[in-house]
Amino acid sequence: MSLYATQDEKKQAAAKAALKHLPKGGILGVGTGSTVNFLIDLLPELQLEAAVASSQATADRLKKLGIEVVDMNHVGSLDAYVDGADEIDRHMHMIKGGGAALTREKIVASIAKKFVCIVDDSKWVDQLGRDFPLPVEVIPMARSAVARKLVSLGGDPVYREGVVTDNGNVILDVFNLNILNAIDL
């Protein structure tokens, strides 16, 4: 029997553990997703100077807690970036972006000195892409062309209907990729 009764309790425990790896004060990069939301609720403990959000949803949640949200263009670097993952393998390769903020997440993470990833045991897999699709953000005019390329790589892309990213783009969820070597892909 699991120590935690529900998936939300696992996420909450993972968020609390991650808090110990984040610097107090300063400016923190904050990702997007259900697990990150549990962490955001704990961030007032860190007495942050400000945060850079990877999505409008994250920015709204941070602001409700009284945490100032600043534009990344006004920040040279971040002490840390914190986010969740949809899947993670033993090589620490991940599938991220199920929350449709993947492009901004990568951009914000790129200026951080440290990446803290919040995952519970349900996210660990032997092979990426077998159980969770790989999300790909695409400019709308290129959706069909990108989908054809993804098919040529062995994937089965599915347009995520009704979802438009904060960048005005669409998401293709790529099923059946069975990613053996994430770097080569």
The tens digit of pLDDT for each residue in 144-168 reads 999 999 999 999 999 999 999 999 9
Query: Could you tell me if residue 180 is inside a domain?
Result: no
Instruction: Tell me the pTM.
Output: 0.89
Q: Is 117 helix (H, G, I), strand (E, B) or coil?
A: strand
Same domain, 34 and 118: yes
How high is the pLDDT of residue 1?
Answer: 43
Query: Could you tell me if residue 24 is inside a domain?
Result: yes
Query: Could you tell me if residue 62 is inside a domain?
Result: yes
d(C-alpha 110, C-alpha 172), whole Å: 23
d(C-alpha 183, C-alpha 185), whole Å: 5
Same domain, 116 and 157: no
How high is the pLDDT of residue 2?
Answer: 57
Same domain, 149 and 114: no
How high is the pLDDT of residue 105?
Answer: 93
Query: Could you tell me if residue 185 is inside a domain?
Result: no
* Phi-psi label, residue 71: left if phi above 0, alpha if psi -120 to 50, beta otherwise: beta
Same domain, 74 and 161: no
- Read off the CATH number of the domain in which 78 is found: 3.40.50.1360
Please choose, from the candidates 83, 185, 89, 172, the residue with its C-alpha nearest in 3D space to the C-alpha of residue 134: 172
Q: Is 96 helix (H, G, I), strand (E, B) or coil?
A: coil
How high is the pLDDT of residue 183?
Answer: 83
Same domain, 65 and 104: yes
How many other CB atoms are found less than 10 A from the CB of residue 121? Answer: 9
How high is the pLDDT of residue 120?
Answer: 87
Same domain, 65 and 117: yes
The tens digit of pLDDT for each residue in 9-32 reads 999 999 999 999 999 999 999 999
d(C-alpha 21, C-alpha 92), whole Å: 17
Q: What is the pLDDT along the chain (185 residues), one digit of tens a residue?
A: 456 679 899 999 999 999 999 999 999 999 999 999 999 999 999 999 999 999 999 999 999 999 999 999 999 999 999 999 999 999 999 998 888 989 999 999 999 999 999 998 889 999 999 889 999 999 999 999 999 999 999 999 999 999 999 999 999 999 998 788 888 87
**Number of compact structural domains in the chain:** 2
Domain housing 138: 134-175
List, by residue number, the catalytic residues. 105
Same domain, 90 and 170: no
Same domain, 49 and 138: no
